[in-house]
Copies of this chain bind each other. A is one copy, B any other.
């Protein structure tokens, strides 16, 4: 059994990107600059955004963090987005989700210049992904594809079950793994809340991508011997023994499942750090595609 080590792999990716930045600098070229807009005081969002800024510092990208108060109006946020669209120094940016309820998320995503949309959430980029054209792929699916590639996990002709049809993970994951690529060429079944006999469906899978957000949902009896398990779950559970006051739980019953499978991503240290690394890769891509 091989642990797909997202922590080590993402560190490797950051090291590679830091090298690229050095080369860009040496050639007198522009270094990538990532901006992030954070609206409100959500604790998890703040943690994520701060981590992204730290990643930028580590690889040598420029970074700008724009913090807006919870009560920011939709039009004020759209103004900030418009400014970033026109800021030539900013190569790519993200608007950290979720947004406060009084702001229309779709409207905001549509306002982002697709060329700077390193989260890959704008319809034009989602469409290019669906059509297998060069684009920015949302960070989590991109991170998963990247770790499968770097560990040479075989995917062609494999039966893959994706659990969860969210627009940022499950749905794009099912699209990417179906395509005529490596990683890809899987026979993908996309499962969700309306799926019947989910346990039996999983049991036949060579690859399971669990992205439903239910801690420990995938148990050993649902997993075929030798399957590859990708755990996207990252639920915070109160834990007073931890300094942070919580611990992170995946969607997979790791200890029991790990003994049966060929590959598995741990939580934490699996898909999470790969998601962060994917954002750094996408930001470099802005420079490379332009």
Contacts and interface: CB of A to CB of B under 8 A. Distances in A.
Given A124-B124, A179-B165, A194 B156 contact: yes
A125 B128 CA distance: 10
A172 to B, nearest CB: 8
A174 interface: yes
Contacts of A196: 157, 159, 187
A127 B171 CA distance: 12
A201 to B, nearest CB: 7
Contacts of A194: 156-157, 185-187
Nearest to A155: B194
A11 interface: no
A241 interface: no
A286 B125 CA distance: 22
A101 interface: no
Copies of this chain, complex-wide, total 2
A188 interface: yes
A195 B187 contact: yes
The residue among A124, A127, A180, A192 with the most chain B CB atoms within 10 A of its own CB is A127
Given A157-B195, A196-B157, A130 B190 contact: no
Contacts of A174: 174, 178, 190
Nearest to A162: B178
A178 B192 contact: yes
A26 interface: no
Contacts of A98: none
Question: What is the predominant secondary structure among interface residues of chain A facing chain B?
Answer: mixed
Interface string A1-24: 000000000000000000000000
Interface in A182-204: 185-192, 194-196, 201
A133 B123 CA distance: 9
A179 B171 CA distance: 9
Contacts of A180: 165, 192
A131 B167 contact: yes
Contacts of A152: none
A122 interface: yes
Nearest to A172: B130
The residue among A123, A132, A156, A188 with the most chain B CB atoms within 10 A of its own CB is A123
A193 to B, nearest CB: 8
A212 to B, nearest CB: 14
Nearest to A177: B190
A127 B109 CA distance: 12
A126 interface: yes
A106 interface: yes
Contact of A171 (B133, B178, B201): B178
5 contacts: A123-B123, A123-B127, A123-B130, A171-B178, A180-B192
